[in-house]
Amino acid sequence: MEFEDFVKAAFVKMIYEVIEADGKIHPAELETLNKLKNIIGFDNKFLERAKKLDYDNALITLYNLPHDQKKALAQILDEVAISDGAIHKKEMDLIIETFINIGLGEETE
């Protein structure tokens, strides 16, 4: 799936938020992030810019996405959260909050 740069930035921002949610950056999470670089199409410079993106602006961008792109984000965030072998409560809380804030589950397919 191809994404415009501003959408990629919002995805990457949320991915990194999940990685940092439990206060520990696990090597398996970074490995998953590196795989996602190829899949989504971003590099380390892009990652650094995306990390600085305002959280609320990222949510607004994600809220306005079509349902299939929201589902893609959901799968990615789930993959990142389980990559270290366990989903921390803070990661799960952030993912659920993100889904609610972007309206995932409200629309019908």
Each domain of the chain, given as residue ranges in start order, spans: 5-101
CA 91 from chain center: how many Å? 11
Q: What is the pLDDT along the chain (109 residues), one digit of tens a residue?
A: 678 899 999 999 999 999 999 999 999 999 999 999 999 999 999 999 999 999 999 999 999 999 999 999 999 999 999 999 989 999 999 999 999 999 997 655 4
On whether the 5-101 domain is CATH 1.10.3680.10, my answer is yes
CA 34 → CA 21, 27, 72, 77, 104, distances in Å?
A: 18, 11, 17, 14, 26
Alpha helices in 5-85 (DSSP H): 5-20, 27-36, 44-51, 55-63, 67-82
88 Cβ contact list (under 8 Å, min separation 6): 21, 22, 81
